[in-house]
Amino acid sequence: MTKIQIKDKEISVPGETLAIGMDVLPGRGTYRDGEKIVANRLGLAMVDGRTIKLIQLSGRYAPKTGDTIICKVIDVGFNGWRLETNSAYSAMMSMKDATSQFIQRGANLTQFYDLGDHVVCKIVNVTSQKLIDVTMKGPGLRKLRGGRIIEVDPNKVPRIIGKQGSMVMMIKDATKSNISVGQNGLIWIDAEPKNELLAINTIRKIENESHTAGLTDKIKGYLEKKVQK
Amino acid sequence: MTYKERIDGRKFDETRPIEAKVGVIKRADGSAMFKIGNTWAYAAVYGPRNLHPKFLQNPEKGLLRCSYNMMPFSSTGDRVRPGGSRRSKEISLVTQKSLNPVLNLEEYPNSVVDVFIELPQTEAGSRCAGICAASMALADAGLDMKDLVCAVSVGRVDDKLLVDLDYSEESYEDGPVADVPIAFMPNINKISLLQMDGEVKKEELMKLIEMGKKACMKIYEIQKKALKDKYKVEV
Amino acid sequence: MERELRSHIIKLLNADTRLDGRKLTDYRKPIELEYGVTKTAEGSARVKIGETEVMVGVKLTTGEPYPDTPDQGTIIVGAELLPMSNPEFEPGPPGIQAIELARVVDRGIRESKALDFKKLCIKPEEKIWMVIIDICPINDAGNLFDASSLAALAALKDAKYPGFDGEKVDYKKKTDKKLELEKLPIAVTVIKIGDKFIVDPDTEEEEAIDGRLTVSSMEDGSLCALQKGGDTPLTEEEISKMLDIGIEKGKELRKKL
């Protein structure tokens, strides 16, 4: 007999038993210990059919293949660039992944990306040792010029982006700003000072209220009120 | 003279009042504070993050580093000289050993998880308070871990066995005293810190451990509540 | 220092605003001050400015006076940049940053004569009170200087002598006798970025600092200590402006005591 020990969307702490029984399966953020399914991090427990999983609520960014992230160039070498990813690991971008332009042997690579530059790039591979390769080839991937970068909790990024990008679109429209959201918790914003602040405050509001119901409507109302002023 | 009742009126198996809060240091990746009686610990977790120097890096798993430090004004007596003492280094070590078993550090190769424990005010049981705070801070940092860690000191004063000795009990002079700090992993049901100084018989020690585990279960509920409170959905 | 961030900060300053929307000479809000936070110290205080949080504890002990001031007690100020409070801080003995912080706080208190050192004398040439002030940042989100100075003064205001029988200090015995504060020196650090002046920098703004002047002033507006930092030199005109801001803002902070 399977017994689910937790309510759906209940916050669980590491070590807490989420369910007992062999016909439920341990999903992300959980492990099986004999009959029990146990949380192995702090998270929101979800029952998804026969699977019990945890949605992570906190913690630093863990690099994943396919993620679009915002990085800073921290080193320029012979064959490519080293990028800071806002995680425990840096990423490598090789010349062939950096540009479709032909680069002469021995060329000064800083003419493409210089130290301190920020780029929107995509992770193409993460090894078990956490070596990360990124590419600049793909839609929306580019060097960021001007604007400003803020840091948010990477676990809140999906809410900031919204369904099919609806939330971030709403902020962009209301604040007439350019925004790029990196899945590593770095967000680039380019707008007039007043709108920049509104965009940031809106993002902070989403971050703080990310688990409340009806967030999209709430944010819509917030932006309408602020823009009218 | 025998030790009949506790000076502060507690029951023999009762801890001092406990207060716990998670997310108290904004710049840290995870943080918590834990107060038990007059002993007060902060813990901040940074990481997983890049590990320097490079030769410390382990491609198979991450490193857990713990540091225990008493603030200069945290002792009832003289000022504590800043900069680590032999005592604080040893406590840092046993803290690391008590927390290490719950962490799945294989998830974080080549990196480090730093735990900094700071005590603004102490009066017995500070290493245990530090471990309780650190365990909550690690969970708050979203790290992959199998369990929480709860810690309390148990001991013997004269012919009585008791939980969470305070300063007057630790320094009781009219009879033998033993002080036994333990850390317990409530779901794994194992002990990850055990030290003892004083005099005690084996049977008494086993009984003390039993009492300690019970007290740890109460502490566990407080830790759990503090963690859940931080993330509670406000409707 | 990141060029982009710096030029962005300057762009905002030119539009009379800052990264978080503050005016140039606004402190973050709220500013909170709490006395007696730790019972093991003879005096203590915690100051929060925005997200920055600093705890200061005062211990009182006895010692011998310096030969050149036989009838005066003394103060010792220590600061540790706890690695708990900022990911950039590393464990180990105080570095130059911590030493500068302690020295700036020390000078504000010493030179303003906030404490009458003669009142700290127990027996001339033999025994004096030593007032040890330790600064511990809990969360460093910028402007440790001002937060620490304010917390140090508040901790002194909170401090009471421990029991003393003429020979030894008995820390378990608390007395009602307070340390008397004669003056209330307040430190305000005025920052120059580009050609603008701001107060209370956050972490990002601290990275963009060109010039820095910590202005410690007293109730009547007179100055008691200064410390210039940052890499760029200042003109007399700039110094004059920075002093004005420092004294003015000092009045605001003093009200929190």
| Separation between Cα atoms, residue A185 and residue A62, nearest integer Å | 10
Domain with residue B200: its CATH number is: 3.30.230.70
Q: Could you give the ipTM of this predicted complex?
A: 0.93
Encoded tokens for B74: 């945290």
Residue type for C226, please? L
Instruction: Tell me the average pLDDT across C169-185.
Output: 89
Strand-pairing partners, residue B153, are: B181
Q: What is the DSSP letter of C26?
A: P
Phi first, then psi: what are they for A219, rounded to 5°? -70, -40
User: Counting Cβ atoms within 10 Å, is residue C230 exposed (0-12), middle (13-18) or buried (19+)?
Assistant: middle
Any idea which fold A68-144 has? OB fold (Dihydrolipoamide Acetyltransferase, E2P) (2.40.50)
Residue type for B210, please? E
Encoded tokens for C56: 């200061």
Q: Are C42 and C117 in contact (CB under 8 A)?
A: no
Following DSSP, what letter does each residue of B137-158 receive, concatenated?
A: HHHHTT--BS---EEEEEEEET
In this prediction, residue B1 has a pLDDT band, given cuts at 50, 70 and 90, of: low
Which residues on B lie below 8 Å from C87 (Cβ)? 27-28, 46, 49
- B170 domain-assigned: yes
Domains of chain A by residue range: 3-56, 68-144, 148-228
Q: Are C148 and C227 in contact (CB under 8 A)?
A: no
Residue type for A56, please? Q
| Nearest-Cα residue of chain C relative to residue B83 | C93
Q: Are C160 and C42 in contact (CB under 8 A)?
A: yes
Q: Are A41 and B144 in contact (CB under 8 A)?
A: yes
Does the distance separating the beta carbons of C91 and B71 come in below 8 Å? no
Phi first, then psi: what are they for B86, rounded to 5°? -60, -35
Q: Are A198 and A226 in contact (CB under 8 A)?
A: yes
- B121 domain-assigned: yes
B108–chain A Cβ distance below 8 A for any pair: yes
Q: Give the per-residue pLDDT at C49.
A: 97
A152 CA: distance to closest CA in chain B (Å): 12
Which residues on B lie below 8 Å from A87 (Cβ)? 48
CATH 1.10.3720.10 fits A3-56, yes or no: no
| Separation between Cα atoms, residue C9 and residue C209, nearest integer Å | 10
Residue type for C116, please? D
Three-state secondary structure call for residue B43: strand
Three-state secondary structure call for residue C233: coil
Using alpha carbons, select from B114, B87, B82, B68 the residue that is nearest to residue C99. Answer: B82
Following DSSP, what letter does each residue of C119-175 receive, concatenated?
A: GGEEETTTEEEEEEEEEEEEE-SS-HHHHHHHHHHHHHHH-EEEEE-SS-EEEEEEE
Q: Quick one: how many helices (H) and strands (E) in chain B?
A: 4, 10
Does the distance separating the beta carbons of C59 and B72 come in below 8 Å? yes
Q: What is the percentage of chain C residues whose pLDDT exceeds 70? A: 100
Q: What is the DSSP letter of C70?
A: T
Query: Strand A90-94 vs strand A80-84: parallel, antiparallel, or unpaired?
Result: antiparallel
Following DSSP, what letter does each residue of B67-131 receive, concatenated?
A: EEEE-TT-SSSSPPPSS--HHHHHHHHHHHHHHGGGB-GGGSTTEEEEEEEEEEE-SS-HHHHHH
Residue type for A32, please? R
Does the distance separating the beta carbons of C85 and B69 come in below 8 Å? no
Written out in words, the top-level CATH class of the domain with range A148-228 is alpha beta
For residue C3, pLDDT over 90 is answered with no
Q: Give the per-residue pLDDT at B171.
A: 86
CA dihedral C90, C94, C99, C105 (to 10 degrees): 90
Count of domains observed in chain B: 1
Query: Strand C74-79 vs strand C127-139: parallel, antiparallel, or unpaired?
Result: parallel
Q: Give the per-residue pLDDT at A103.
A: 80
Closest in C57, C84, C171 to B25, CB measured: C84
Strand-pairing partners, residue A81, are: A76, A93
Following DSSP, what letter does each residue of chain A receive, concatenated?
A: --EE-S-TT-EE-TT-EEEESTTSEE-TTEEEETTEEEE-SSEEEEEETTEEEEEE-S------TT-EEEEEEEEE-SSEEEEE-SSSSEEEEEHHHH-SS---TT--GGGTS-TT-EEEEEEEEE-TT--EEEE--STT-EEE-SSEEEE--GGGHHHHH-GGGHHHHHHHHHHT-EEEE-TTSEEEEE--HHHHHHHHHHHHHHHHTTTSTTHHHHHHHHHHHHHH-
A2: left (phi over 0), alpha (psi -120 to 50) or beta: beta
Does the distance separating the beta carbons of B139 and A13 come in below 8 Å? yes
| Separation between Cα atoms, residue C12 and residue C208, nearest integer Å | 13
**Structural domains of chain C ordered from first start:** 3-254 (3.30.230.70)
**pLDDT, block means (10 residues), chain A with 229 residues:** 78 94 92 94 91 93 97 93 96 90 82 93 95 95 94 96 95 96 97 94 93 88 86
Helix pair angle (A166-175, A193-208), 10° resolution: 150
Using alpha carbons, select from B49, B41, B48 the residue that is nearest to residue B25. Answer: B41
Q: What is the pLDDT of residues C219-255, one digit of tens each?
A: 999 999 999 999 999 999 999 999 999 999 999 999 9
User: Counting Cβ atoms within 10 Å, is residue C94 exposed (0-12), middle (13-18) or buried (19+)?
Assistant: middle
Here the contacts of C13-18 (C-beta below 8 Å, separation 24 or greater) are C13/C193, C13/C194, C13/C196, C13/C198, C14/C194, C14/C196, C15/A193, C17/A193, C17/A194, C17/A197, C18/C198, C18/C205
Q: Give the per-residue pLDDT at C4.
A: 85
Q: Give the per-residue pLDDT at A229.
A: 65
Does the distance separating the beta carbons of B79 and C59 come in below 8 Å? yes
Using alpha carbons, select from A228, A56, A71, A97 the residue that is nearest to residue A151. Answer: A71
Instruction: Tell me the average pLDDT across B227-232.
Output: 90
What does the mean pLDDT of chain C come to? 94
The residue ranking higher by pLDDT, B7 or A127, is: A127
Q: What is the percentage of chain B residues whose pLDDT exceeds 90? A: 82
In this prediction, residue B235 has a pLDDT band, given cuts at 50, 70 and 90, of: very low
At residue A26's C-alpha, the angle toward residues A87 and A164, to 5°, is 55
Which range (A94-103, B143-152, B205-214, C179-188) has the least confidence? A94-103
Does the distance separating the beta carbons of C4 and A197 come in below 8 Å? no
- B81 domain-assigned: yes
Equal CATH topology for A3-56 and A148-228: no
Q: Containing domain of residue B27, as a range? A: 18-230
- Three-state SS string over A137-156 comes to CCCCCEEECCCEEEECCHHH
| Separation between Cα atoms, residue C30 and residue C51, nearest integer Å | 9
- B13 domain-assigned: no
| Separation between Cα atoms, residue C152 and residue C160, nearest integer Å | 14
Strand-pairing partners, residue B56, are: none
- B6 domain-assigned: no
Residue of C1, C2, C16 for testing the chain A interface, max A β-carbons within 10 Å: C2
Three-state secondary structure call for residue C99: helix
Strand-pairing partners, residue A94, are: A80
Strand-pairing partners, residue B103, are: B145
In this prediction, residue B8 has a pLDDT band, given cuts at 50, 70 and 90, of: confident
Residue of A60, A73, A74, A148 for testing the chain C interface, max C β-carbons within 10 Å: A148
| Separation between Cα atoms, residue C62 and residue B230, nearest integer Å | 44
Phi first, then psi: what are they for A71, rounded to 5°? -130, 160
Residue of C10, C13, C19 for testing the chain A interface, max A β-carbons within 10 Å: C19
Q: What is the pLDDT of residues C47-99, one digit of tens each?
A: 999 999 999 999 999 999 999 999 999 999 999 999 999 999 998 888 999 99
For residue C153, pLDDT over 90 is answered with yes
Q: What is the pLDDT of residues B112-141, one digit of tens each?
A: 999 999 999 999 999 999 999 999 999 999
